[in-house]
């Protein structure tokens, strides 16, 4: 898995959530829900990307030491 894979997954998940909410016309305040759901997705994926980059950095340091 690469960083780009995580970014693409984050974007796809946002699109899926927006499409799901848009498919239900009776939901009150859909823009509020979409904005907040997408913010949660972005925050969680950013944390995941940070952890991925930290692991890559540690891995690179270990390879350099060897």
DSSP 57: H
Instruction: For residue 56, report the phi and psi dihedrals to the nearest 5 degrees.
Output: -65, -40
Q: What is the pLDDT of residue 14?
A: 97
Longest dimension (CA), the chain: 60
Give the confidence band of 63 by pLDDT, cuts at 50, 70, 90: confident
pLDDT tens figures, 8-47? 999 999 999 999 999 998 999 999 999 999 999 999 999 9
CA proximity to 5, closest of 43, 48, 41 = 48
């Amino acid at each position: 898995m690469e960083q780009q894979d995580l970014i693409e997954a984050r974007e796809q998940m946002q699109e899926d959530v927006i499409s799901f909410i848009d498919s239900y016309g009776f939901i009150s305040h859909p823009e509020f829900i979409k904005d907040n759901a997408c913010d949660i997705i972005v925050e969680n994926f950013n944390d995941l990307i940070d952890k991925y980059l930290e692991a890559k950095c540690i891995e690179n340091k270990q390879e350099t030491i060897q």
